Chain A
């Protein structure tokens, strides 16, 4: 049973911190289930700008840049000093990243927090794209945390309407060719052949089908991609004038003038023209499609249980999801209550983020300097926060993160993190090891920890040890 408590903490949670394994005690399932309630908003984020405020900042930045250019052209470069620049905008982002890392390092609801991160990676956007970079962290706060336990459809809609996703996957500029804007653009192009004809962009629609809902083998065709793309034309990001006019307090705007008129047909079903509601109706149906249920269940089971989870477990999870009408809580519960999720063969190799976060928790590190270092190390290990190299997100199996070079860098990172421990710390490396891993700490490692020359050396050994690389 002690092993089950350690699994709850390490495999379903973010790694043992302090007396967490003891708190879980004899009721690991109950500990997980208690976290599938409420939502996942966290006080640590209070006071951060919402994406609307970030959007205003971004518009200010663009306006200042335009004015600056005009002044330069007028030969007044001396007077033109920007009050805001890219670096200024990036500083806000750095603050968000550090707070987020701090939450992971200290939360007492680590299963819920891990689920938040799972969905953030499922709906991956990357701060590589400057225009999307301001919205990656707010998207998690605004679209994922509030819907963590509710219906997947609500999370899906919140994400696909969020400025982060609309900008990252290019839907913000997409317009229907037969919409009023499209017709206008076509007339302009006829008068002036050099003018660009504006129109459809199918990037977001494709990734909704392939990555966010049905999965690549989910049975859709190119025609469905194009139809969904047409259905969500007009889903866009507010401009300054929209911000002043809009009664909504978020940064989403539906531009009726860009929406492709007419009924759409997706997966054989017709959706009558109804403006913004047309795309919404399609997404609600996609959320409840059996292929979506299987896709989400497989990804969750792969994240929490094993690189190759048993098909029977995945099937049971998908069934529970569909039976509940698409409730995420039912999906999580089906996994946490299934014996297969607790079998001795379950286990995961830590991703760089898992490794770094669990190290922070094991050492109870959380000062600003610790968090900044941890973000740097995480990037060097190949998993920079909110920066996957594609919309498919970071990989989630051992083969994505193993390899000698990567393992060697973990040893170096372990050493760097251990040096952050205050010298006067009275916890012994062995005690930290027991608290972090419980019975997963093997005798050989425990002996080596006891023999360490210094606390720092012992802690480096703990973090770099093979036992610490697994979520078992």
Chain B
């Protein structure tokens, strides 16, 4: 006996488990219905190729031939100094409409060159890799009534923690023996380590599994479209996470980046198109764990560096300008003589968005969300309309 899963979940009449875990109130009450999506590009996106500082004489010296090589689409000039890579066409449109804000020379407080530690740091919100919970999870806990969603089959570190957060990935064929399901409910209730996880299948994730999908691996545009579908629902998750891999370009980077920037651009457009109704209340933060070397290495790529670029996109963003302090890429200006010096701590960017967009109080930002960040002030002026209490 098999049963369509959505129908089965409706029939089973199970009670949603949303109140399973206690929340701790961090925020001043936030009544606005804002949305925040974090997009993590794993592998270290080449920020100097995404946002090309052609006004800096160092760029022509280090990267000129690379940026102008055969097959490179013409870049989109943003102002006198910076241009977006040619494949970032939708992002250029957003910039023109003042809904895209690039932040230059940014990095997490971690300043070594391990991908894995740097990603941990971006996700757990500390300067090292010690924390086993994520700052996005702490945000979910801190915004009363909010829900969190990671578009991923397993929970990323950024979303791990006490607050209940759903994961979603394309479902496998939807049919399930209801008797099997009933018996499993009894057995899992008796397993202390798995009971809560199993119970949670019936709430949010169960509803989400009715969505459409297909392959095991999600490409960024599909993942972004899924995020839009869930997050634009009236009672949808306010805090979301999407990840993408394949940005570690040590070798023949031009072709790979052409493709990856195309995916990123299509992904952002898919999100905007799918979340039109909430777009004006939305901030999408696109970040990566670190930048790459300023010079091209011996195999047509770049190695791990420090300062990268981050992008805020969305109708709520005060865009159409370049944020952050540009340190220059003349030889003497480089970090360790090899890569862009970071002048902005990524936590400043996050704190600015969380305070002014989600209404999380300053004290909570320092005490809970980003402990050890007391000396790192939130960036200001990121948003069109501050919503902080």
Contact = CB atoms under 8 A, between A and B. Distances in A.
A413 B187 CA distance: 18
Contacts of B43: 390
Interface stretch (B153-161, B229-237, B265-273, B350-358): B153-161
Interface stretch (A36-44, A80-88, A282-290, A380-388): A380-388
B160 A399 contact: yes
B299 A404 contact: no
Interface string A104-120: 00000000000000000
A203 B206 CA distance: 42
Contact of B176 (A199, A415, A444, A453): A415
B194 A408 contact: no
Contacts of A203: 248, 250-251, 303
Given A405-B166, A405-B167, A466 B194 contact: yes
A41 to B, nearest CB: 31
B216 interface: yes
B172 A200 contact: no
Interface in A438-454: 442, 444-445, 448, 453
B60 to A, nearest CB: 11
A472 to B, nearest CB: 11
Contacts of A399: 132, 155, 160
A409 interface: yes
B296 interface: yes
Interface in A376-433: 379-382, 384, 389-390, 392, 395, 398-409, 411-413, 415-416
Interface stretch (A24-32, A238-246, A456-464): A456-464
B176 A412 contact: yes
The interface centre, meaning the residue of A380, A404, A408 with most chain B CB atoms within 10 A of its CB, is A404
B180 interface: yes
A193 B65 contact: yes
A197 interface: yes
Given A216-B117, A404-B197, A412-B173, A464 B166 contact: no
Contacts of B250: 169-170, 201, 203
A197 B299 CA distance: 8
B169 interface: yes
A381 B298 contact: no
B184 A465 contact: yes
A170 B251 contact: yes
B190 A444 contact: yes
B63 interface: no
A162 interface: no
A395 B116 CA distance: 11
Contacts of A91: none
Given A197-B298, A198-B299, A404 B201 contact: yes
B80 interface: no
Given A194-B65, A405-B168, A457 B177 contact: yes
A170 B245 contact: no
A404 B304 contact: no
A183 B137 CA distance: 53
B42 A390 contact: yes
B303 A408 contact: no
Interface residues of A, number: 63
B115 A390 contact: yes
Contacts of B299: 170, 173-174, 198-199, 201
Contacts of B198: 404, 407, 466
B184 A400 contact: no
Interface string B297-330: 1111101100000000000000000000000000
A405 B117 CA distance: 26
For B188, B190, B193, B299, the residue with the greatest tally of chain A CB atoms inside 10 Å of its CB is: B299
What is the interface of chain B mostly: helix, strand, loop, or mixed? loop
A392 B116 contact: yes
Nearest to A197: B298
B180 A400 contact: no
Nearest to A442: B190
A451 to B, nearest CB: 8
A389 B245 CA distance: 7
B197 to A, nearest CB: 6
B184 A464 contact: yes
A196 to B, nearest CB: 6
A201 B169 CA distance: 36
Contact of A411 (B181, B217, B304): B181
A444 B167 contact: no
A380 B172 contact: yes
A161 to B, nearest CB: 18
B281 interface: no
A177 interface: yes
Contacts of A379: 216-217
A352 to B, nearest CB: 9
A7 interface: no
Interface in B343-372: none
B113 A206 contact: yes
A185 to B, nearest CB: 8
Interface string B325-338: 00000000000100
Nearest to B189: A466
Lowest 8 A-B CB distances belong to which pairs?
A199-B298, A466-B191, A404-B200, A203-B250, A382-B153, A404-B201, A173-B299, A405-B167
25 contacts: A169-B250, A170-B250, A174-B298, A193-B65, A201-B250, A201-B251, A202-B303, A216-B114, A382-B169, A390-B245, A390-B248, A395-B154, A399-B160, A405-B168, A406-B153, A411-B180, A411-B181, A412-B172, A415-B177, A416-B172, A442-B190, A444-B187, A448-B187, A464-B180, A466-B198
Interface of B: 42-43, 65, 113-117, 129, 132, 153-155, 160, 166-169, 171-173, 176-177, 179-181, 183-184, 186-188, 190-191, 193-194, 197-198, 200-201, 205-206, 209, 216-217, 245-246, 248, 250-251, 296-301, 303-304, 336
